[in-house]
Amino acid sequence: MSNSETMTIYNTLASKSYTEPELLGCALPTLYGGRIEAQHQICNRDELKLMLAQWQDAEGWYQSRADVGLGMPVNLDELLEGQWHRADQSLHLELRSDQTYNLTLFIQHEVSQGQLARQCYSDQLIFLRPSLKSQNQTLRYRIWWQQAETGPNEGGWRPLLQQFLGLAQQKEQ
């Protein structure tokens, strides 16, 4: 079975999970074809400062030793992790050791009509706790899947990564 066929069958089942909830007992997300590229790098705090200076206009969140906040941290000395998004790129960072950080840059690419999609995604909203809400109510994430090309799971879809997409103003229902 081709990957476009598996996505079509899955999305048919996903739509029925909303119209006929007793069929599966849960709601399935819709999947969309796409392509994501991940570039990994290890950097020190000085390199991190240069990288984050290029992301000042991005929206995101961070966690330091003292707090969790939205936007860019003021003090990088206590930064533990953070995620930012702008246009079709996302930057994720996490503290690896005292002065070393793991940086991952995600670049999303469109899949053209005739191109075979070996990756797909679904979107997810995560509601913020009241102290972080300000004007935005949710964090937006994209969950990526990749189709196995060989082995016993050939043709099956497996989780690949989670990409931060920014903030949204959707409220809990």
pLDDT reported for residue 113: 67
Classify residue 48: in a domain, yes or no: yes
133 pLDDT more than 80: no
Tokens of 105: 């840059």
Token pair 């966690």 in the structure block, residue: 63
Domain count along the chain = 1
In a domain, 7, yes or no: no
Print the domain residue range for 56: 31-168
Is 162 contained in some domain?
A: yes
3-state secondary structure of 113: coil
In a domain, 8, yes or no: no
Burial degree of 142 (CB within 10 A; 0-12, 13-18, 19+) = buried
Report which DSSP code applies to 26.
S
In a domain, 143, yes or no: yes
Q: How far is CA 3 from CA 35, 152, 155, in A?
A: 14, 16, 7
pLDDT of residue 134: 63
Q: Is 106 contained in some domain?
A: yes
Residue given tokens 């476009």 in the structure block: 4
Is the per-residue pLDDT at 116 higher than 80? Answer: no
Residue 104 in contact with residue 85, Cβ under 8 Å? no
Q: Which two tokens stand for residue 74?
A: 């003021």
The residue-averaged pLDDT of 96-108 equals 95
pLDDT at residue 130 tops 80: no
For 30, phi then psi, to 5°, come to: -75, 140
- pLDDT grade for 80, boundaries at 50, 70 and 90: very high
Tell me which amino acid residue 11 is. Answer: N
d(CA 36, CA 146): 10
Give the span between the Cα atoms of 94 and 81, in whole angstroms. Answer: 4
> Does the pLDDT at position 148 exceed 60?
yes
- Strand 32-44 and strand 100-109: the pairing is antiparallel
What tens digit of pLDDT does each residue of 7-41 get?
Answer: 888 899 999 998 998 888 888 999 998 999 999 99
CA dihedral of residues 119, 124, 128, 134 (deg, nearest 10): 90
Considering the domain boundaries, does residue 1 fall inside one?
no
